[in-house]
Amino acid sequence: MTTPEPAAAPPPEMPDALAQEHRLHPMSWLFVMLQHMRTFIVPLLAFLIFGRTDRNELWSVVAICLIAAAALWRYLTYSYRLSGDSVLIRSGLLHRTLRQIPFSRIHNVALHQTLLHRLFGVAEVRLESAGGHKPEAEMRVLKLAEASALETLIRRRGHQDASAATSAPAAPAPLDRLRPGSDGVLLTLPLGEVLRLGVISNRGMLVFGAAVVAVSQLRLKLPEDINRQWSRMVDYFFGHFGVSQVATVVVLLAVAFFALLRLLSVLLALLQYSGFRLEQEGRRLTVTRGLLTRLRTSAARRRMQAFQLQETVLHRLFGRRTLKVDTAVSGSHHDDRSFREIAPVATPETCDALVRHVLPGAAWPPARWRPLHPHAWLRLALPGTVLALLLTALLSWRYGALGLWGLAWLLPATFVAWQHARRAGYAVDDALVAVRSGWWSRRWRFAELDKLQVLLLHRSPLDRLLGMASLSLDTAGTDPTKSALRLRHLPVEDARALLVSLDREVARRPLRW
């Protein structure tokens, strides 16, 4: 016989309701089932609408029934309780699991509400930690009041366990009146800024591509009469109009297509970023956004590992930039619910002010940017040169001497490489290391020296020939799809000296993540 473990006394600020053992919301099984059904929604629609009865669709129906049974089982066997310094989660009946998550280990708390969640008055809570490829816990779903109280308590307790207690939140204040460590609203996006974000972003193209892939999976065949009508229309169009008229119609259709994509991007921006608010409470930053689906996610400032400023051509046209952040939570870079954007769109002055507020000990923007190797443009022009030679060889084989026109590609390739090398640079001081790159689309990536973990100097054979070297600086939670914090094509003497200097500086500093 086992003796039940004594319940830890709740902390003074913990509500008595949260100190007791709780189960998920009675409708949680429905939300879990609906979330997993997205994988089978395309074949299921084909089965219900078009009456297709092949084995793939029937197996999808069987899979959905199994998912419903698993979701109901999870509701019956899942419970949680809060102790003085951690969250205790029990799950399973035959194979029982007790998971204890200390408050100090929780790096990010996300509260997620879709339109269906809001109709039922519930929310989903995700607890994320550093280095994990999935959340430490996903509570799907809780009553909204219970989820909000849980989120507030975990953020407050984690803040205290990190020895960073602050005074009570002050009244909201604009960014330029906030001092480091003070509380309030740092940034809001009015409707006009959300519309600009929609025009600048390219989310419409991504959605269109996903829709094309989804429709292609249905393998639909139009009726023969519809195919004949379309064929007659196309033949009539190309047979009765001249080349200039056809070209005009094609151009107008292309313009209308891209305009519709931008309109779709604007609609997506309204859905995702309406009501955007960046707030600070103590040492945590909290983002709240969304029109139909409401999302509130937060992260401690000390968990923020690296930052990126992005400026595309459309950003410059509207005089805006985007400020993103990498947190010490792996595996969530492509999850819309993760803490990634401090400023989805803002003026350059506002972005710089936010950086100075979040990193009060760093000088931003740097006073001086160091250039790359004088011959870095040759290194950057190599891909374009290889492409021009391959194109010339292919055209010469097909068209003879006319194929030499392929060498004309060398001019724009070299010009673009020269522009990239001219604008690129790096800056290092006693608190921050920063890299800037890009010409049409410009990026600034930077991180505090306290957050660096691995320093790597590498040289390719071509780098050794040209006397160059590159430095890669690793931080926790880096997104592998982003441009790395990498100092490329430096003079080899400068790269080695910088490696020794950074290694000495990082070794004497405690790692903060």
Domains of the chain: 16-168 (2.30.29.30), 195-221+230-273 (no CATH), 376-420 (no CATH)
Of 122-131, 277-286, 364-373, which has the strongest mean pLDDT?
364-373
Task: Give yes or no for residue 265 having a pLDDT over 50.
Answer: yes
Residue 20 vs residues 7, 9, 88, 158, 321: alpha-carbon distances, Å: 9, 11, 11, 20, 46
Residue 339: predicted pLDDT: 84
pLDDT of residue 83: 82
Alpha carbon of 33 to those of 69, 73, 77, 89, 135: distances in Å? Answer: 9, 11, 16, 21, 19
Residue 2's pLDDT is: 39
Question: Do residues 402 and 348 touch, judged by C-beta distance below 8 A?
Answer: no
C-alpha–C-alpha distance, residues 82 and 114, integer Å: 26
Count Cα neighbours of 95 within 13 Å in the Cβ-side half-sphere. Answer: 1
Residue 480 has a pLDDT of 56
Question: Global pTM?
Answer: 0.79
Q: What is the pLDDT of residues 2-61, one digit of tens each?
A: 344 444 444 445 555 566 788 888 888 888 777 766 656 555 555 555 554 455 555 656
- Return the closest-CA partner of residue 328 out of 171, 511, 184: 511
Q: Is residue 265 a contact partner of residue 203, using CB atoms and an 8 Å limit?
A: yes
pLDDT of residue 226: 67
Residue found by looking up tokens 């509701």 in the block: 75
Query: Which single residue is written with the structure tokens 């010469």?
Result: 396
CB atoms within 10 A of CB 427: 20
> Residue 21 in contact with residue 98, Cβ under 8 Å?
no
Q: Does residue 308 surpass a pLDDT of 90?
A: yes
CA dist., res. 332 & res. 126, Å (int): 11
**Mean pLDDT of all residues in 395-401:** 87
**According to the model, what pLDDT value does residue 180 have?**
45
